[in-house]
Structure formats: C-alpha cells, structure tokens
C-alpha cells in the first residue's frame, strides 16, 4: 500500500513540475526511501542479534568478559565515578 502511494507521489511530481524540479524531487524522495528502508533492516537485524544473545543468557554489553559465570572487568577500563 505504501509503495503504491510512493509511486503515485513520484508520478504526480513528474507530471506537475518542470523537468529539473521533478528530477530533483524524485531523487531526494528516492534517497529518503532508501535511507528509511536501510534503517528498518538494520534495526531488525540488530534486534535479532540482541534477542539471540538474550535467549542464550549472554549479557547485552560486551564491555565485560564473562569467565565461568563471573564478570571479569578489564583493568584498562577507566572509572567514571571520580
């Protein structure tokens, strides 16, 4: 449904405006669409990655390493509580 609306919007722009403004608006809208689709795909992939880690009881933050169920903090980590 939304793809049909997008195509209709692009056709309206091409028919209503002159050549240069129509081409510019179509390019800008297409770049926006590609950005939105890539953002949704990235978010879905990242969510799936985090969900898999949560299902396997792996902590979500990779700053700490786990050894035999105990947290091991690197000595090179700086404390933020000064």
Q: What percentage of the chain reaches a pLDDT higher than 90?
A: 10
Position 23 pLDDT exceeds 80:
yes
pLDDT at 55 over 90: no
Mean pLDDT along residues 22-32: 85
Give the distance from CA 37 to its chain's centroid. 8
pLDDT at position 63 over 60: no
**pTM for this structure?**
0.55
Which residues have a Cβ under 8 Å from the Cβ of 77 and sit 6 or more positions away? 63
């Amino acid at each position: 449904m939304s793809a049909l609306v997008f195509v209709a919007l692009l056709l309206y722009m091409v028919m209503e405006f002159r050549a240069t403004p129509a081409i510019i608006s179509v390019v800008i809208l297409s770049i926006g669409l590609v950005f939105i689709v890539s953002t949704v795909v990235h978010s879905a992939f990242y969510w799936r990655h985090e969900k898999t880690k949560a299902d396997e009881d792996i902590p979500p933050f990779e700053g700490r390493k786990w050894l035999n169920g105990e947290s091991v903090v690197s000595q090179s980590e700086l404390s933020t509580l000064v």
